[in-house]
Amino acid sequence: MNSEIRPMLLMLVSTFSLSVTGLLAKWLTHSFDPAWLCFFRLLFPAILAFWLMMITQWSQPNKQAWSGLLVRGFCITACQLCFLASIKHLSLVEAVVLFGTSPLFVPILERIFFKTPIKRLIIINLGITFTGLLFIAGNLEQMKFGGSLLLGLAGGIFNAGSQVAMYRSSKSNLTPLGVSAWSFIIASLFLVPLLMFLPITTAVEWHTLTGWQHPLLLLLLFMAVCTVNTQVFRAKAYQLAESGSQLAPIIFTNLIFSAIWQFMFFNHPMPWNKMVGIGLIILATILNTFVPIWLRKKRALSNNN
């Protein structure tokens, strides 16, 4: 297979798995409390990742890796809780778009924790994003703290924190699979104190899930497989790619897949203001991804000349 096409196909499989995970999460929020669903969403992939490490290459964190893993575990827990709480009330596309704003907030967090400068483009893109939020909300009165929109946006912010912490973890002694396995198990443990005070499901009883052939349990297991697929195929794609810009366009196919799932399985009305708002947020994310690539190429050409 062509060396240029292979990483793009691997990234396409990764985004497809990610979109299926969102679809399954949308379905399962009607049967589980968001906290319990988040716990299963993290625990099952962790078990699968540990099993894969046992049969391939075991990876255990050293003392320096634990701080990054703890921070990433907390951020994963928070972002998944926000995402699952918001997707229960938002459309699938709305939730996915808000969660996908995380690249916009990575420079903000790097500025807070590492004192790196913030480029003017980030400020512009954040302005476009919040304008899109206003369009989706319809009016300012609906933009209440704790609302579904703000929870979805908070998921993107905490996901950005997870990415910043993942960069630190990637510099440790852990393999990519090891980083995912230890991060997921730590994230699931953060939820244990909260779960002690919550019922396990909202629509089914716990004893009905003990059978291996119960549909909900099969969906949870399938979501775990999709989660690990997303991580493994993405890591392999970046490993084979010549540069991150080669894969940047493929990342946005997650939105296309999610729109297809929404059209096929859900009857969510999309009035003009929501479509405009979603379009503005997607525009901000695209500008954040491609403008720096274009500027680097422009500088390279000018230097060569």
**What pLDDT, in 10s, does the model give residues 246-296?**
676 787 888 889 988 988 888 777 788 888 888 888 888 888 878 877 877
Alpha helices in the chain (DSSP H): 5-28, 34-55, 65-87, 92-99, 102-114, 120-137, 148-170, 176-195, 215-240, 244-251, 253-265, 272-304
Model-level pTM? 0.83
56's CB contacts (< 8 A; 6+ apart) are 177
252's CB contacts (< 8 A; 6+ apart) are 282, 285, 286
How far is 30 from 91, CA to CA, in rounded Å?
Answer: 13
How far is 100 from 196, CA to CA, in rounded Å?
Answer: 31
pLDDT in tens, 238-256: 777 765 556 767 878 888 8
DSSP state, 268?
A: -
7-16, 109-118, 143-152, 191-200 — which is least confidently predicted?
143-152
Which residue is listed with tokens 């990483």? Answer: 7
Structure tokens at 216: 């909900």
Which residue is listed with tokens 């969403």? Answer: 41
How far is 144 from 149, CA to CA, in rounded Å?
Answer: 9
How far is 280 from 275, CA to CA, in rounded Å?
Answer: 9
Query: 2: number of CA atoms within 13 Å, CB side?
Result: 4
Q: How many residues does the chain have?
A: 305
Phi, psi of 204 (to 5 degrees): -135, 165
Residue 46 reports pLDDT greater than 70 = yes
Confidence of residue 142 (pLDDT cuts 50, 70, 90): very low
Which amino acid, 154? Answer: A
